[in-house]
C-alpha cells in the first residue's frame, strides 16, 4: 500500500537512488548533480519544506517537496522510482502535495517542468495545472531547453 510521509534522514539513502541518470537528475533538480547524494537531500531539507516520500512498506518509491520563489509556492523535485512509474504513484504524490498546500498553507500550487518531460507535463495538465510562463535554460550538456511554469487554479483536487 502506498503511503505519503515526511521524509526523514533515514530515507535519504533511498531518495538518492530514485534518480538514475544525468538527464533525469537535470529534469528533477537542475541545480543538483548526478548522482544525487545524501548531502544534496540534506541541503534541500534546509531550503525547502514538506519534504515528502511515498513509501510502499519500507521502500521509498517517490519524493517531492515545497518551496517559495517570487511570491509563489512550488511543488518541486518530483520523482518516482523507475520501477513504480505508470502505476499512479506520480498522480497520487501530486494529489497529496496539492492537498498539503490547500490544507496547511491555503494557497494554490505552482510547478515547473521541462518541455521534454512529456509524461510529467501530461500529468500536470490532467491535474489542472496551466502554463503561465516559459523560459529558456541551459541543460546539463549546455544546450538550450524550454522550462514551463504552471499553476493550479483552485483548491479542489481532481479525483
Domains in the chain: boundaries: 2-152
User: What DSSP designation does 155 have?
Assistant: S
Domain topology for 2-152 = Aminopeptidase (3.40.630)
* Predicted confidence (pLDDT) at residue 104 exceeds the cutoff of 90: no
Task: Determine the pLDDT at residue 154.
Answer: 64
Give the global pTM.
0.94
DSSP labels for 98-142?
HHHIIIII----EEEEETT-HHHHHHHHHTTEEEEEEEEEE-TTS
| Region 60-76 average pLDDT | 95
Task: Determine the pLDDT at residue 107.
Answer: 80
Range with lowest mean pLDDT among 11-15, 68-72, 78-82, 124-128: 68-72
* Predicted confidence (pLDDT) at residue 30 exceeds the cutoff of 60: yes
Smallest CA-to-CA distance from 108 within 74, 67, 78 is with 74
Q: In this predicted model, what pLDDT tens digit does every residue of 87-102 receive, in sequence order? A: 999 999 999 999 988 8
Amino acid at each position: 500500500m502506498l503511503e505519503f510521509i515526511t521524509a526523514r534522514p533515514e530515507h535519504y539513502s533511498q531518495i538518492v537512488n530514485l534518480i538514475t541518470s544525468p538527464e533525469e537528475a537535470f529534469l528533477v533538480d537542475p541545480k543538483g548533480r548526478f548522482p544525487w547524494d545524501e548531502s544534496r537531500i540534506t541541503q534541500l531539507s534546509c531550503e525547502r519544506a514538506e519534504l515528502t516520500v511515498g513509501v510502499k512498506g519500507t521502500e521509498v518509491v517517490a519524493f517531492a517537496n515545497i518551496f517559495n520563489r517570487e511570491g509563489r509556492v512550488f511543488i518541486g523535485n518530483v520523482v518516482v522510482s523507475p520501477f513504480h512509474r505508470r502505476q499512479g504513484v506520480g498522480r497520487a504524490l501530486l494529489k497529496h502535495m496539492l492537498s498539503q498546500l490547500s490544507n496547511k498553507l491555503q494557497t494554490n500550487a505552482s510547478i515547473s517542468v521541462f518541455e521534454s518531460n512529456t509524461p510529467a507535463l501530461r500529468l500536470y495538465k490532467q491535474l489542472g495545472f496551466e502554463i503561465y510562463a516559459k523560459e529558456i535554460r541551459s541543460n546539463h550538456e549546455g544546450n538550450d531547453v524550454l522550462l514551463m511554469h504552471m499553476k493550479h487554479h483552485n483548491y479542489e483536487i481532481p479525483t
